[in-house]
Each structure stands twice: as C-alpha cells, then as structure tokens.
C-alpha cells in the first residue's frame, strides 16, 4: 500500500458553523438596494456574516456594524480591466491592474483574501480563462457556484473548472456566493464556516484554512478522516458523491445522508487521485460541496 496521509481541513469539536455570503452589491455600484437594506435582508435570513463587495469601491462596515447583529466583513470586487476577483478582508481598494497577478499580490500584501469569480459567466462561458486561473498564484479560492449567473449567460456552477485546477495541484478552496444585485438574488448560494467565535477574524481564519463548505441548500454536519477513510454526515442529502483528481472522477455514489469512502490502493495513486472532495445532493437539485481533502505521502 502506498503510505499516504489525508489532509482534512475540517475539525471535530465545538466549533460554531457560521453561514455567510461574501459577494453582494448595493446602490454604491450596480446593485438596486442601499447597503442598510442589503444588510437587513441577510440578517432577516438568519445569516451570521456578510461582505458587501461593490465594484472597485469599498463600502466600509464601520458605518453599519453598530446597527446590525450580522458580522460585516469588508470587501471589494476588483472588476475593471480583467476577470473579476473578490478582495475579502479589504482595508482599502486595490488598483484594478490588468495584470491580475499584481492584484492578487496586492490583496495578499494587505492581509486580505483573493477569490476568483464566476469562471463560467458570459455567453462564451469563459469569464475567467482556465489558463489564466492556472497561472495565477496566491488566490485562496474560486467561486464554484455564483447565484447571479443563474439569471445571466453562462453557468452558475463551475465545479468543472475547479476539478481541472485541483487536478493540476492548484489548491483553491471552493466558494458559493449570491453575487446579489437585486433582492431576489438572496440566499441562492452561500458558505458555512467552522469558527471558534462569531467574529470577522475567526471567520476569515476558518476560510483561509478551508474549514468551510459551499451550499445551495444542503447542510453538512461533519467531515471525518480516519486513516484512509473519509466519512461525511449531512442533515438532508439524498445522494453523496466522492470525486477525485485525474480530472474529476466520480469514485463512489451513495444514496443516503451519510457516506464513507476508503482510498483504494491503485497504481500511481497520488498521481491519479491527488484529492477527494464530496458533493452532496438534496431535494430539488440543491447541493453542497466540501473542500478537497489532499492526499500526500506520509513521512517514514
Ligand atoms: Zn463579477
Ligand atoms: Zn459581483
């Protein structure tokens, strides 16, 4: 057997699971609602955190945090002169340089998180060219589901792009967001983050470590790794799939809300599998996506 270790980003224990949206627009750019109304709408939906991310413009949470119980995280959508990149944990607007590597470098230098947006957006399904995504270094993740694209050209789902990246060892975490522009865009897709406390710092730390999943409606309770076996417990999945590298191969499908999968001892295991991630499907096509669990050679 090839000696491997599965790197599970999730923790067992007493963490909170906090629900949030990191992509929303207001009247400060091309959204239709004032920031106060957007914040109130997410609070009304029971969200724990929200980032308002207007185009190349920072709406500081300072003016609004005192009036809401939802945790506001500062953000910007870097938009002009190239494919869009979310800047989460923003302290200031990053210059939208046509060289997107410079944008990501500037975001990282300021302590923020960079997320590549809606890869399959637009009529050519190619808002974010694959080769460009593969060449960029330092982004924390990619939008695997962007709710706004449901009512625009292209595909809201980008798990195809994600598997291509992961198979080339571009370790990006997968995000679900609303990209809200109008009131009806709310609660299409979100993330749920494991965090010790309900604070912006703890949420951002959980995101950076991949302790979260993306969802359009399915709830995950736990992801456990025991040696070579991965087990997932969900609240309401009806079908669970285990997907690995070598281009997004479905290794197992289980019709249940709990499932396990054990890494087989195949030739060239690390080359062929590289990672396992889990897709959970529920009622009416709702879904949840775990982060990839990497496989690495164990020492000794
Ligand atoms: Zn965008
Ligand atoms: Zn947007």
What is the predicted pLDDT for the residue at 299? 79
The CATH number corresponding to 218-297 among 3.30.2090.10, 2.60.40.730, 3.40.50.620, 3.40.50.800 equals 2.60.40.730
Ligand nearest to the CA of 121: 1
Ligand nearest to the CA of 118: 1
Residue ranges of the domains in the chain? 16-214, 218-297
Q: How far is the centre of ligand 1, averaged over its atoms, from the C-alpha of 177 (Å)?
A: 11
What is the predicted pLDDT for the residue at 66? 97
Q: How far is the centre of ligand 1, averaged over its atoms, from the C-alpha of 16 (Å)?
A: 30
**Interatomic CA distance for residues 209 and 205, integer angstroms:** 6
pTM: 0.98
Task: Give the Cβ contact number of residue 63 at 10 Å.
Answer: 11
Q: How far is the centre of ligand 2, averaged over its atoms, from the C-alpha of 76 (Å)?
A: 9
What is 228-243 written as a DSSP string?
A: TEEEEEESS-SEEEEE
CA 119 to centroid of chain Cα atoms: 13
C-alpha distance from residue 216 to each of 23, 131, 147, 179 (Å): 14, 28, 9, 13
- Would the CATH topology of 16-214 be identical to that of 218-297? no
Ligand nearest to the CA of 85: 1
Q: How far is the centre of ligand 1, averaged over its atoms, from the C-alpha of 99 (Å)?
A: 17
User: Which residues 6+ apart lie within 8 Å of 295 measured at CB?
Assistant: 4, 5, 6, 7, 263, 269, 270, 273, 274, 275, 276
Ligand nearest to the CA of 21: 2
Per residue of the chain (300 residues), what is the pLDDT tens digit?
A: 888 999 999 998 889 999 999 999 999 999 999 999 999 999 999 999 999 999 999 999 999 999 999 999 999 999 999 999 999 999 999 999 999 999 999 999 999 999 999 999 999 999 999 999 999 999 999 999 999 999 999 999 999 999 999 999 999 999 999 999 999 999 999 999 999 999 999 999 999 999 999 999 999 999 999 999 999 999 999 999 999 998 999 999 999 999 999 999 888 888 889 999 999 999 999 999 999 999 999 876
- The answer regarding whether domain 16-214 maps to CATH 3.20.20.140 reads yes
Q: How far is the centre of ligand 2, averaged over its atoms, from the C-alpha of 159 (Å)?
A: 19
């Amino acid at each position: 057997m090839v000696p491997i270790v599965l790197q599970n980003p999730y923790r067992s224990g007493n963490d909170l699971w906090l629900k949030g949206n990191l992509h929303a627009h207001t009247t400060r750019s091309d959204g239709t609602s004032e920031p106060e109304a957007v914040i109130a709408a997410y609070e009304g939906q029971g969200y724990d955190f929200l980032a308002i991310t207007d185009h190349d413009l920072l709406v500081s949470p300072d003016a609004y945090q005192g009036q809401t119980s939802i945790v506001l995280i500062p953000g910007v959508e870097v938009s002009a002169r190239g494919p869009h990149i979310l800047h989460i944990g923003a302290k200031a607007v990053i210059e939208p340089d046509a060289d997107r590597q410079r944008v990501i470098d500037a975001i990282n230098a300021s302590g923020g998180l960079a997320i590549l947006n809606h890869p399959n957006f637009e009529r050519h399904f190619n808002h974010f060219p694959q080769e460009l995504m593969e060449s960029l270094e330092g982004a924390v993740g990619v939008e695997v589901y962007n709710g706004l694209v449901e009512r625009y050209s292209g595909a809201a789902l980008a798990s195809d792009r994600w598997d291509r990246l992961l198979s080339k060892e571009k370790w990006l975490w997968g995000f679900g967001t609303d990209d809200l522009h109008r009131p009806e865009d709310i609660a299409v897709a979100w993330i749920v983050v494991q965090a010790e406390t309900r604070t912006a710092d703890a949420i951002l730390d959980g995101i950076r470590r991949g302790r979260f999943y993306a969802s359009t409606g399915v709830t995950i309770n736990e992801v456990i790794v025991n040696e070579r076996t991965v087990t997932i417990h969900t609240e309401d999945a009806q079908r669970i799939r285990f997907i690995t590298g070598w281009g997004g191969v479905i290794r197992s499908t289980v019709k249940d809300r709990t499932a396990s999968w054990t890494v087989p001892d195949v030739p060239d295991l690390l080359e062929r599998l590289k990672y396992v991630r889990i897709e959970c499907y529920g009622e009416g096509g709702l879904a949840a996506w775990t982060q990839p669990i990497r496989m690495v050679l164990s020492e000794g």
